[in-house]
Structure 1
Amino acid sequence: MQLSMKEQMLHILLEHNGEYVSGQKISEQLGCSRTAIWKHISELRKEGYELEAMQRRGYRIIQQPNNIRSHNIHVGLKTEFVGQNIVYHESVSSTQTIAHQLAHEGAEEGTLVAADEQGKGKGRLGRDWHSPKGTGVWMSLILRPKIPPQQAPQLTLLAAVAVVKGIKEAVGLDCEIKWPNDILIHGKKVVGILTELQAEADRIQSVIIGIGINVNVKEFPEELQNKATSLLIEKSGKEINRAALMQRILEQTERIYKQYLKEGFPIIKLLWESYAVSLGKEIKATTINGSFEGYAKGITEEGVLLIEDKEGEIHQIYSADIEISSQT
């Protein structure tokens, strides 16, 4: 997607890393007037950018806001299609709901819906997701893979690997994955992933991958304090730049997704298992048909969890809540 003039100007200023850029140079690079430059400078200031203007020297960025508007994500994003079309809302009921509608209307692959706040964030099994304003990453990504519908669960595992790698690159924190879609730090949930399909009997029309990340959440409701954490808490109170985090996750997603389409699931399976916290451990699986305990043995080529019960029988788990016995 073509960057807007404001985005191009922001890119120029960021490239100079706090040094002054003359108005003449910006004008020549963008092919616009000094008046247009001043207009965009004013818009950026309203959005929270701290900009300094000095006669004969030009403009420089002193401080960036920690927001996730489209241009904050676009500028510096190194992808071909993932996140190149961004639909941003300050507040929504759920990014998943909007992404479903856009996908139905023909939105291109890689389209991203992002919001600063969700009123009714969607988790698995119809649960709500705690999504306070301006503190997290709440986003939904539209993919259109040419794979059979039964292989769609693989994309949840792919997304989990991409998020773990993106967090490590952007923040330096190591995460673990609890099947199928929870990402943990020190046993507490920091990311949830929800994958939903639009499909016919024999083909996928779109896959909507919803990702919710507790980034700069300082505290949680009492009922979540022993279950949830945030990147800020794990970094000892150091605020995380949300746009930069999203960029790294989107870049990892595109890289791994392209590899997956070319080489298949085995490489994703190996990566996922390297981060898995539950494999080889005794777990409790709660499904719609009841609960049972056993040892997590691994996942199939379709991403289905294998559990061996106490009688040695192997069960295939397609959807369940998983508790690791040592944590119960």
Structure 2
Amino acid sequence: MDLDAREPLDTALLRDLLCEPHGPLRRLLVVERSTSTNTQLAAEVAADPQAWPAPALLVAEHQEAGRGRAGRSWETPPRAALTASLLVRPQVPPERLGWLPLLAGLATVTALRATLGVQAVAKWPNDVLVVTDEPELPGWGTARKIAGILTEVLPDGVVIGVGLNVSQTPEELPVPTAVSVLRAGGATVDRTVILTALAESFVSVLGRWTAAGGDVVASGLADEVLAVSATVGASVRVELAGGDELLGTATGLAPDGALLVEDASGRVVTVHSGDVHHLRLN
């Protein structure tokens, strides 16, 4: 793809659609470059909290050193992806914050399905996948990763970062297990349209959650998270902290959003963190 064909975000239109008084955001900032939108937003909130009323969104046209979970790097060509971080200050009990990555996954899947016609699914705890017509890969089948989510709790709020591959060609994707909206046959690669859908979906999902005091069952969100999950019900291999490994079937989610895995002996293990690999996903 011709890089010159990748249009910049329409900041004026985004502010009109997404910011008060017409939209749900209280601040939107689009920057040309950022090493990491999560890192930049966290630093700006720490320096001047009053300048960042929640919900607020920071978007980078080009993220130069994006961070994934466990410190992994994430890179993309300029204007080929959406890299954004949302600041929220949810008034919910702290023990319910573990649901935020799963709710962010639900919001991303919802936006991709409704706006782009891309049949995305969520992989616990923070990836979004698409089943493609690509050749099968071990442990992936024909699924590929289209988006990643990184949630970080701050002293004054929570930052939810999203990196979504939009117009990358196969040569520009960092690994064979990645895919872009373009490769997945999405209805549009207009990042202004996609960002609007994502922001509205996030605010809607998180609004329902906070209105219920962070109760995912009372809000109806627990069932919706399960409905889009590719992990629950799958055979998995989990790499746990310390190098231990767990093999079994992901049977559900704990009240705090942790993954429940039943091993061959029938023992159910609660996984709060770890790398989850689907043994096969089609």
Q: TM-score, normalised by structure 1?
A: 0.74
Please, which runs of 5 or more residues in structure 1 have no aligned partner?
1-47, 49-63, 200-204
Equivalent of 2:197, from 248, 254, 277?
Answer: 248
Equivalent of 1:235, from 170, 173, 185?
Answer: 185
Name 2:269's counterpart in structure 1.
Answer: 315
Matches within 5 A, 1:197-212: 197-199=153-155, 205-212=156-163
Aligned-partner residue type, residue 161 of structure 1? L
Give the 3 Å change call, closer, same or farther, for CA 144–222 of structure 1 in structure 2: closer
Name 1:92's counterpart in structure 2.
Answer: 34
Partner SS, residue 183 of structure 2: helix
Displacement of 1:65: 7.5
Deviation per CA, 1:37-62: give whole Å up to 9, x if none.
Answer: xxxxxxxxxxx9xxxxxxxxxxxxxx
1:164 pairs with 2:119: no
1:213 pairs with 2:164: yes
Partner SS, residue 152 of structure 1: helix
Name 2:118's counterpart in structure 1.
Answer: 173
Separation in 1 of the partners of 2:78 and 2:255?
38
Contact 2:89–2:157 (CA<8 Å) still a contact in 1? yes
Displacement of 1:67: 2.1
CA RMSD, 1 decimal: 2.2
Displacement of 1:210: 0.3
Separation in 1 of the partners of 2:10 and 2:88?
21
Percent same amino acid among aligned pairs? Answer: 24
Structure showing the higher helix proportion among its residues? 1
Aligned-partner residue type, residue 33 of structure 2? S
Separation in 2 of the partners of 1:82 and 1:150?
26
Separation in 2 of the partners of 1:221 and 1:287?
31
Q: TM-score, normalised by structure 2?
A: 0.85
Separation in 1 of the partners of 2:173 and 2:193?
30
Separation in 1 of the partners of 2:210 and 2:273?
24
Equivalent of 2:91, from 146, 155, 160?
Answer: 146
Count of equivalent residues: 259
Name 1:73's counterpart in structure 2.
Answer: 14
Contact 1:157–1:268 (CA<8 Å) still a contact in 2? no
Separation in 2 of the partners of 1:216 and 1:223?
13
Larger radius of gyration: 1
Contact 1:82–1:111 (CA<8 Å) still a contact in 2? no
Displacement of 1:327: 5.1
Name 2:80's counterpart in structure 1.
Answer: 135
Aligned-partner residue type, residue 183 of structure 2? I
User: Could you say which structure has the greater relative contact order, defined with CA pairs below 8 angstroms and 6 or more residues apart?
Assistant: 2
Please, which runs of 5 or more residues in structure 2 have no aligned partner?
132-142
Separation in 1 of the partners of 2:62 and 2:126?
21
